[in-house]
Amino acid sequence: MNIFEQNESAIRSYCRSFPVVFKQAKGAELVGRDDERYIDFLAGAGTLNYGHNNPVLKQALIKYIESDGLTHGLDMHTDAKESFLEVFKRIILEPRGMGDCVVQFTGPTGSNSVEAALKLARKVKGRRNIISFTNGFHGVTTGALACTGNQHHRGAAGVTLGDVTRMPFDGYMGDKMNTLAYMDKLLSDPSSGIDHPAAVIVETVQGEGGLNVASADWMRRLERLCRKHDMLLIVDDIQAGCGRTGSFFSFEEMGIKPDMVTLSKSLSGYGLPLAVLVLRKELDQWEPGEHNGTFRGNNHAFITATAAIESFWSDTRFAQEVQRKAKLVRERLQSIVQRQGPNSLRVKGRGLMIGIECPDGDLAASVCSRAFARNLVIETSGAHSQVVKCLCPLTITDEQLNSALDILEGAFAGAMAEQIETAAS
Ligand SMILES: *Cc1c(COP(=O)(O)O)cnc(C)c1O
């Protein structure tokens, strides 16, 4: 028995799917202790959009550490935080018409920025209820967990998860039903039994929920519904943001203006913990320190986040590259579906948040373990863990992308063949 099995809590999960000890990582590649190399299609569940140990970010961090820059700073003013705020405002917020927003540094996890958003929405509107959507994932601390759909996670809460009303996400009831018409009807009826919500929290692409995509039209209607019923619109862009769908925010092309946006995962760009809540200035009704936290000043993360924004978002080249690669991956996945299971498999997702839905979780698990046997790290998502999810670093080379997709195609072929054999025997 190794030290992990002996001494690490049973809570460990990803390591069970990928039972090797890693020692190094660079770009889209992981290296095992036995020098075995793996292509990383998990990328820290979307935390490593710019790859492992990105050299530009690493140099900036080394320089900062060598000069004895602050590591921890509570929420004190530091050079590093100043540069981050300036660069984020100039390169991200202002060009996107969000120059009037302020940035709240929350505790360093995505869940904590969701907690902050929910608390502030409830405080500003003086109401308790929040609307979240079927299959949504917003984190596992109590407030965020109440908005999360996943039963496995909800079951661990140990307390009542309340003050949230679930509505059907885009497409949840099939193509023919407009889920927002249903929601509008419920909110317009004073006796529907739904307490007037303070806010709606939504992902534009449900990362953990199975790569369900909200259409631009649905998001625009949702925004209108929020205005009509005086609810705040919170977009949880923790996984879909930071370039994953081909633009910095996942909703940029939709022409909507959320009241609050949560960001974390790839925000630091280096895998360092960092989370923020971006909010319209007039909603910033916090008293000083009302939602505090010891690790709101991770200055190393400010340094790498600043370097990431400067090097990837100063012009449109990186976004165009992501869009080009997304097209390439989509085409390859579509051809896998055509060849391996045109009647049972389906491509899902948007941008480089894309994958293949299987009829069941067993097939998806078999695909992932076959892929791992050929050195591709890839995971599933979805209500039944039925979606094989490609979440490669956005900086991956075409060569790596193609070899990973070759492995994936082989894994699908093997898993489908096995399924047919099992059914026949
Ligand atoms: C990962 C994730 C969270 C939670 O972030 P943690 O850092 O794990 O707390 C919340 N929302 C979305 C959409 C996520 O993908």
Q: Are residues 142 and 265 in the same domain?
A: yes
In percent, the amount of the chain with pLDDT more than 90 equals 98
- 419 pLDDT more than 90: no
Mean pLDDT, residues 124-129: 98
Mind listing the pLDDT tens digit for each residue in 39-49? Answer: 999 999 999 99
Mind listing the pLDDT tens digit for each residue in 231-265? Answer: 999 999 999 999 999 999 999 999 999 999 999 99
Q: Are residues 211 and 77 in the same domain?
A: yes
Q: How confident is the model at residue 115 (pLDDT cuts 50, 70, 90)?
A: very high
What domain count does the chain have? 2
Nearest ligand 1 atom to alpha carbon 139: 4
pTM summary value: 0.98
Q: Are residues 174 and 301 in the same domain?
A: yes
Nearest ligand 1 atom to alpha carbon 237: 13
Q: How confident is the model at residue 111 (pLDDT cuts 50, 70, 90)?
A: very high
Q: Are residues 38 and 69 in the same domain?
A: no
Question: How remote is the CA of residue 197 from the centroid of ligand 1, in Å?
Answer: 22
Question: Residue of the nearest CA to atom 5 in ligand 1?
Answer: 110
Query: Count of CB atoms within 10 A of residue 339's CB?
Result: 13
pLDDT at 183: 98
The preferred substitution site among 250, 264, 350 for testing ligand 1, maximizing ligand atoms within 8 Å of CB, is 264
- 288 pLDDT more than 90: yes
Q: How confident is the model at residue 423 (pLDDT cuts 50, 70, 90)?
A: confident
The preferred substitution site among 42, 47, 48, 137 for testing ligand 1, maximizing ligand atoms within 8 Å of CB, is 137
Mind listing the pLDDT tens digit for each residue in 364-410? Answer: 999 999 999 999 999 999 999 999 999 999 999 999 999 999 999 99
Nearest ligand 1 atom to alpha carbon 114: 10
- 213 pLDDT more than 90: yes
Mean pLDDT, residues 312-327: 98
Question: Residue of the nearest CA to atom 15 in ligand 1?
Answer: 239
Structure tokens at 57: 């970010």
Question: How remote is the CA of residue 17 from the centroid of ligand 1, in Å?
Answer: 20
Which of 312, 347, 363 is where one domain is finished?
A: 312
pLDDT at 400: 98
CA angle centred on 388, ends 385 and 390, rounded to 5°: 135
Task: Verify whether ligand 1 is closer than 6 Å to residue 133 (CB atom).
Answer: no
Structure tokens at 22: 């890693």
Which of 289, 312, 335 is where one domain is finished?
A: 312
Mean pLDDT, residues 211-227: 98
Task: Verify whether ligand 1 is closer than 6 Å to residue 111 (CB atom).
Answer: yes
pLDDT at 343: 95
pLDDT at 1: 78
Question: How remote is the CA of residue 238 from the centroid of ligand 1, in Å?
Answer: 6
Question: How remote is the CA of residue 111 from the centroid of ligand 1, in Å?
Answer: 6
The preferred substitution site among 13, 48, 49, 111 for testing ligand 1, maximizing ligand atoms within 8 Å of CB, is 111
Task: Verify whether ligand 1 is closer than 6 Å to residue 138 (CB atom).
Answer: yes
Structure tokens at 313: 């978002």
Q: Are residues 281 and 389 in the same domain?
A: no
Task: Verify whether ligand 1 is closer than 6 Å to residue 207 (CB atom).
Answer: yes
> Residue 160 belongs to a domain with what CATH number?
3.40.640.10
Mind listing the pLDDT tens digit for each residue in 361-375? Answer: 999 999 999 999 999
Q: Are residues 62 and 153 in the same domain?
A: yes
Which of 312, 337, 372 is where one domain is finished?
A: 312
Task: Verify whether ligand 1 is closer than 6 Å to residue 110 (CB atom).
Answer: yes
Mean pLDDT, residues 168-195: 97
Q: Are residues 357 and 235 in the same domain?
A: no
Nearest ligand 1 atom to alpha carbon 136: 13
> Residue 362 belongs to a domain with what CATH number?
3.90.1150.10
Q: Are residues 378 and 303 in the same domain?
A: no
In percent, the amount of the chain with pLDDT more than 70 equals 100
Q: Are residues 164 and 275 in the same domain?
A: yes
Q: Are residues 256 and 346 in the same domain?
A: no
Task: Verify whether ligand 1 is closer than 6 Å to residue 104 (CB atom).
Answer: no
Q: Are residues 121 and 24 in the same domain?
A: no
Mind listing the pLDDT tens digit for each residue in 63-80? Answer: 999 999 999 999 999 999
Q: Which domain holds residue 223?
A: 57-312
Q: Are residues 272 and 333 in the same domain?
A: no
pLDDT at 424: 87
- 270 pLDDT more than 90: yes
CA 232 to chain CA centroid, Å, is 21
- 425 pLDDT more than 90: no
